[in-house]
Amino acid sequence: EPEVTQTPSHQVTQMGQEVILRCVPISNHLYFYWYRQILGQKVEFLVSFYNNEISEKSEIFDDQFSVERPDGSNFTLKIRSTKLEDSAMYFCASSEDYLGEQFFGPGTRLTVL
């Protein structure tokens, strides 16, 4: 059964460093998403992406964040200069249709020291 994959499963970085979180969505899906969950908090929407453009972004998704689909398979989230408060579990999701079921990856746990 096709699934969304994410790498790495756990990333540790120093404050101020750049990180890139990688996702491989399901191959025929067209809509892509990033969510995050700070420990003990709610899962929060970050950004949606379609047709090589951001469709919607939340207040959390400031200038430090960017997303890219560099090739036909990967979907990445870049944090330019990490802060302690960026420590969270980051989930990637994809769907075939707008408003269709979103399929989630297992998440990348980001720890910023």
The residue ranges that bind another protein (CB under 8 A) are 3-4, 31, 33, 35, 37, 40-45, 48, 55-56, 58, 91, 93, 95, 98-99, 101-107
Least Cβ distance, residue 19 to another protein (angstroms): 20
Least Cβ distance, residue 42 to another protein (angstroms): 5
SS3 111: strand
Nearer to another protein, 14 or 99 (CB): 99
Q: What are the distances in angstroms from CA 25 to CA 10, 63, 81, 106?
A: 18, 24, 25, 12
- Strands 108-112 and 10-13 turn out to be parallel
